[in-house]
Amino acid sequence: MRESKTMAEIDKEFLAILVCPKSKAPLIQSGDWLYSTDAAERLRYPVRDGIPIMLIDEAEAVDADEFEKIVGQSARR
């Protein structure tokens, strides 16, 4: 079984050019996930071995509570 590594924070300049492939909204990082800031979609994309997997088929929808928690934390930084 392959172990996934906890990812270090993605470079801010690189993260600034990444967008959600479905909604084109900016992304924020929380742990090993990149969250779309689009409240209508509420998608997150995995980061595996330090590589963002920016495929719509790999995205997961999150519930409204998780979305608000992650986006709210990012807004307070």
pLDDT for residue 41: 96
Task: Evaluate whether residue 60 is within a structural domain.
Answer: yes
For the chain, how many structural domains are there in total? 1
Residue 47 Cα distances to 44, 51, 57, angstroms? 10, 5, 14
Domain containing residue 42: CATH number: 2.20.25.10
Q: Which residues of the chain have pLDDT under 70?
A: 1-7, 76-77
Task: Evaluate whether residue 6 is within a structural domain.
Answer: no
For the chain, first and last CA: distance in Å? 36
Q: Are 41 and 20 in contact (CB under 8 A)?
A: yes
pLDDT for residue 23: 97
Task: Evaluate whether residue 21 is within a structural domain.
Answer: yes
Task: Evaluate whether residue 28 is within a structural domain.
Answer: yes
Pairing status of strand 33-36 against strand 27-30: antiparallel
pTM for the model stands at 0.85
pLDDT for residue 73: 83
- Domain of residue 71 covers 12-76
pLDDT for residue 49: 86
pLDDT for residue 2: 45
